[in-house]
Amino acid sequence: MARSEAAQAGEGRREALRRRELRLKEEARQAKRIRPLVTPEGAALNLKIATASERAGAFLLDFALQIMAIIVSVFVISWMFSSMGFEGWAVAQSLSMVVVFFLRNFYFIFFEIGRKAATPGKRALGLRVAARNGGRLTANAVLARNFMRELEVFLPLSLLAMTVEDQISGWIRLTAFVWTAVFILFPLFNRDKLRVGDLIAGTIVIHAPRTRLKKDITSVAPLPTAAGFAFSDAELDAYGIHELHVLEDVLRQSTAEIKARVAERIREKIGRQKQTGEDDLAFLEAYYAALRARLEQRMLFGERKADKFDVGR
């Protein structure tokens, strides 16, 4: 029986180590996307660049929205002038061409030149355009990066569409294909996933996800019974920053049953017995507050304990 329990404990530790290794690898992978930047005002920023797949997804979404807007606009204009006969159709055609021109050429510019610096497609994926020098995104930069899209995307795609005609020579087909491949695949071959338009305009696409602030559990008045708990440094040093975040999530959104199980595991880990009448929620709140204070104190002295496995720090 004891051997079985020891085997289960060993398996649990190996699983925890495996999850920690995966988490550290993911953190290292995400760290490669961080770019330090100092603004003209001297503020240090850490920007997370968008991947090529994210940028492609945002563009395809915006392109679909463009097509939908064009179809709806042409339909509405045609319906408005349909009762005027031939002259009405001529006016509708001219007006539709103007609307299509503006939607095709100024869709991206209209949204990126605004305060959010992002099209609907970029906002849906949590992206936005920023200046690579850390300064303000100017209208000239937005115009430059978007007018280059005509050369990068729409013109080569138009050439490819023309190559389906039999009278187009093989050399023109090859030129159109190479042109398209160079410009479309360009972000895959540079570290910051920049388009040619980004290079010319001095811009970069970064992550700017919409964040919703959670209720700060430290600002809530603790339970009256939570004040009666005291923890030693050894009990608090059993866990690190990762476990603190997990405990915070447990306190925010878990059920009473889960809270009771977590409280029991913490007591077992720190070698503490549950006292008669002890409330699990009060225990968790008290341990969370004490653990947070302990970790912040250690960080003041340059000691950062990432998780419970960082025993050497």
**71 pLDDT more than 90:** yes
Q: Which residue has the tokens 């899209």?
A: 149
Question: Chain-wide mean pLDDT for the chain?
Answer: 79
**Beta partners for 67?**
none
| Mean pLDDT value across residues 304-311 | 72
Between 3 and 280, the higher pLDDT residue: 280
For the ranges 3-7, 105-109, 138-142, 148-152, the lowest mean pLDDT is seen at 3-7
Please name the helix (run of DSSP H) or strand (run of DSSP E) that holds residue 205, with its range, or none.
strand 203-207
Locate 294 and state its tokens: 């302990």
pLDDT band, residue 152 (cuts 50/70/90): confident
Q: Which residue has the tokens 């610096």?
A: 117
**155 pLDDT more than 80:** no
Q: Which residue has the tokens 């209720």?
A: 215
Locate 142 and state its tokens: 């937005």
| Mean pLDDT value across residues 38-67 | 80
| Mean pLDDT value across residues 81-105 | 81
pLDDT at 40: 54
pLDDT at 296: 83
Amino acid at position 170, single letter: G
pLDDT band, residue 142 (cuts 50/70/90): very high
- DSSP structural state of residue 61: H
| Mean pLDDT value across residues 208-224 | 51
Q: What is the pLDDT of residues 169-203, one digit of tens each?
A: 677 777 777 877 888 888 888 888 898 899 999 99
pLDDT at 65: 94
- Cα distance between residue 180 and residue 156, in whole Å: 5
Between 149 and 4, the higher pLDDT residue: 149
- Cα distance between residue 61 and residue 59, in whole Å: 5
Rounding to the nearest 10 degrees, give the CA dihedral for residues 106, 110, 113, 114: 180
User: Which among 231, 222, 241 has a CA at the least distance from the CA of 298?
Assistant: 241
pLDDT at 309: 73
Residue 119: CA atoms inside 13 Å, Cβ hemisphere, count? 23
Between 33 and 281, the higher pLDDT residue: 281
pLDDT at 313: 45
**58 pLDDT more than 90:** yes
pLDDT at 219: 45
For the ranges 10-14, 90-94, 199-203, 204-208, the lowest mean pLDDT is seen at 10-14
- Cα distance between residue 133 and residue 19, in whole Å: 38
| Mean pLDDT value across residues 224-240 | 77
pLDDT at 213: 40
- Cα distance between residue 70 and residue 76, in whole Å: 10
Please name the helix (run of DSSP H) or strand (run of DSSP E) that holds residue 94, with its range, or none.
helix 85-112
Q: What is the pLDDT of residues 203-214, one digit of tens each?
A: 999 887 665 544
pTM of the model: 0.58
Instruction: Pinpoint the alpha helices (H) of the chain.
Output: 2-31, 52-81, 85-112, 120-124, 139-149, 155-162, 170-185, 196-201, 233-236, 241-253, 256-270, 280-300
